[in-house]
A = this chain, B = another copy of it.
Amino acid sequence: MRALVVEDDQRIAADLDAALGAAGFVVETCADGEDAWFLGDTEDYALIVLDLGLPAMDGLSVLKRWRANGRNMPVLVLTARGAWMERVEGIEAGADDYLPKPFRMEELVARARALVRRSAGQGAAVHSIGALTLDTNRMSVALRGVPVRVTALEYRLLAYLALSNGRVVPPGELLEHLYGDDDAREANALEAVVARLRRKLGAGVIGTRRGFGYFLEGSAA
């Protein structure tokens, strides 16, 4: 967990270093706006603590340039007490949080943890099974990286098989899952969907175990 502290006051920088270090961060410090900009733009930090009053380049400008370059690591800004307008500006420039000086170290650490916790909680929702990839955010399917157009029903079928982890799924269970069991379909409806999918995906993706059901090949042999 790397953290960058941008602060020109030696004493405060040392305190921050100590407190964040004790909280489990690997801390680097930097006292000047240009260095800060360069480091933040090229290195990969889990958190940046940024003081606004800096030599060589103003903290707000640094922040804006990071954001303009698409860097979106969490940034905690330190502001002067009571300058609420400055805080609004900071937030609109892309700060994730601010702390008015002077502050309690406990509070800084708590907010740092909260920021990191939040920025970590964004997993990509893609599942890969054999040559098949499905993205549950985009509701899309790809085969060996090539996107394949599938309809809603086809997607749901694939998704259910994928989440079943290669298990052989009986037709009854699939029917029940795809449609409510309220409205009944001919048993053949399912076979038709599978057939259409196989035409799109080619052989070797959806397997049949005669008398038992369907499964995704390549997931668990």
Contacts and interface: CB of A to CB of B under 8 A. Distances in A.
Interface of A: 66-68, 71-75, 84, 87-88, 91-97, 104, 106-107, 110-111, 113-114, 118-119, 121-125, 137-140, 151-153, 155, 165-168, 209-212, 215
Contacts of A114: 91-92, 95-97
A122 B215 contact: no
Given A92-B110, A137-B165, A124 B72 contact: yes
Contact of A84 (B88, B107, B155): B107
Contacts of A72: 121-124
Contacts of A88: 104, 106-107, 110
A110 B73 CA distance: 18
18 contacts: A71-B123, A84-B104, A87-B110, A91-B110, A91-B114, A92-B110, A92-B113, A92-B114, A93-B125, A94-B123, A95-B114, A137-B166, A138-B166, A138-B167, A140-B209, A152-B209, A153-B211, A155-B212
A66 B123 CA distance: 9
A209 B139 contact: yes
Given A88-B110, A96-B114, A138-B166, A123 B67 contact: yes
A61 to B, nearest CB: 14
A169 to B, nearest CB: 10
A14 to B, nearest CB: 22
Given A92-B125, A94-B124, A139 B212 contact: yes
Contacts of A84: 104, 106-107
Contacts of A212: 139, 152, 155
A118 B209 CA distance: 30
Nearest to A67: B124
Output the residue of A87, A138, A155 with the most chain B CB within 10 A: A138
